[in-house]
Copies of this chain bind each other. A is one copy, B any other.
Amino acid sequence: MGGIHPTAVVSSRAQVADSASVGPFTIINDDVVVGEGAEVGSHCELGVATSLAKQPRLVIGPGSLVRSHSRIYQGSDFGGGLTTGHAVTIRENVVAGARLQLGSQSILDGDCVLGDHVRIHTNVFVTKNSVVGSFVWIFSSVLLTDDPHPPSHLRLGVTIHDFAVLAAGCAVLPGVVLGRGCLVGCRALVTKDVPEGMVAVGAPAELRGPVSALPRRDGSGEPAYPWTAHYHRGYPEEVVRDWVAAAGRDCP
């Protein structure tokens, strides 16, 4: 299909693949690369200029979908299959792996690293200096912070290990480390590290035992976590095969 809408403003120094599409009233600035088959919706601006970018390029990988009203700065690099909601804001110097999903109005505030298959829902704020592993879930309205006594010049990013789940509305204080496969409950306020495979709930959050102690509410009597034992939608087949083989263990 492809095609650049006649109202779009596309720099002659941008590289838009022939099979990519660009919606009405969208701006593609210098040094933006839009990969094969990628779709960029209406009213976006890609490659927003900033003196804070470590390099001028913005790479939107092949097969990506950037929904309307989004703004993405120069200096970031996304693997293939990026999918965003509407009106996302992505600042400079973000390095993200394959198939990142970012919900509407979410903000990646720059200078952060994300692994593969990270799924972030709506209205999430990922602060600078965050380090997010692979297969992490961050649900709506989660807030990550990095300044331990604001305002200051200190920046203590949050670290989130693979397979961790941050439920809707939780907040994480600066410098906290969330362990592999842990679960942070809805609206929890996480002030201390959460060990691998543990549940943290409340404000301030307290540990409530292993994730495997939480039952599914589908009548099966099975544990709800690790989620990889029962939730596979959209993940690569070879990855899911490993998860199924690992089912019954506490963490994938």
Interface residues of A (CB under 8 A from B): 7, 9, 24-25, 27, 41-43, 45, 48, 67-69, 71, 85-87, 89, 104-105, 107, 109, 119, 122-123, 125, 137, 139-141, 143, 145, 147-154, 156, 165, 167-169, 171, 173, 186-187, 189, 203, 214, 216-218, 224-225, 227, 230-231, 233
Residues of the B chain whose Cβ atoms lie less than 8 Å from the Cβ of A165: 150-151
Give the residue among A7, A125, A139, A151 with the most B Cβ atoms within 10 A: A151
CA distance A25 to B165 in the complex (A): 39
CA distance A68 to B49 in the complex (A): 12
Contact B217 A148 (CB under 8 A): yes
Contact A149 B186 (CB under 8 A): no
Question: Considering only CB atoms, which chain B residue lies closest to A175 in the complex?
Answer: B217
Residues of the B chain whose Cβ atoms lie less than 8 Å from the Cβ of A87: 69, 87, 89, 105
Contact A149 B89 (CB under 8 A): no
Contact A104 B107 (CB under 8 A): yes
Query: Given A85-B89, A140-B143, 15 other A-B contacts at CB below 8 A?
Result: A9-B24, A45-B68, A86-B89, A125-B140, A125-B141, A141-B141, A148-B217, A149-B217, A152-B224, A152-B231, A153-B218, A153-B231, A169-B171, A171-B186, A171-B187
Contact B151 A231 (CB under 8 A): yes
Contact B143 A141 (CB under 8 A): yes
CA distance A165 to B114 in the complex (A): 30
**Could you list 25 A-B pairs, sorted by A, with CB under 8 Å?**
A43-B43, A43-B45, A45-B68, A68-B71, A87-B89, A105-B105, A105-B107, A109-B122, A123-B125, A125-B140, A137-B151, A141-B141, A143-B169, A148-B217, A149-B225, A150-B168, A151-B165, A152-B224, A152-B227, A152-B230, A153-B230, A154-B216, A156-B217, A169-B171, A187-B203
Give the residue among A9, A214, A233 with the most B Cβ atoms within 10 A: A9
CA distance A167 to B168 in the complex (A): 18
Chain A facing B: main interface SS: loop
Residues of the B chain whose Cβ atoms lie less than 8 Å from the Cβ of A147: 139
Question: Considering only CB atoms, which chain B residue lies closest to A85 in the complex?
Answer: B89
Other-chain contact of A149, B143, B148, B224 (Cβ < 8 Å):
B224
Residues of the B chain whose Cβ atoms lie less than 8 Å from the Cβ of A89: 85-87, 104-105
CA distance A147 to B217 in the complex (A): 10
CA distance A226 to B152 in the complex (A): 11
Min CB distance A85 to B, Å, is: 8
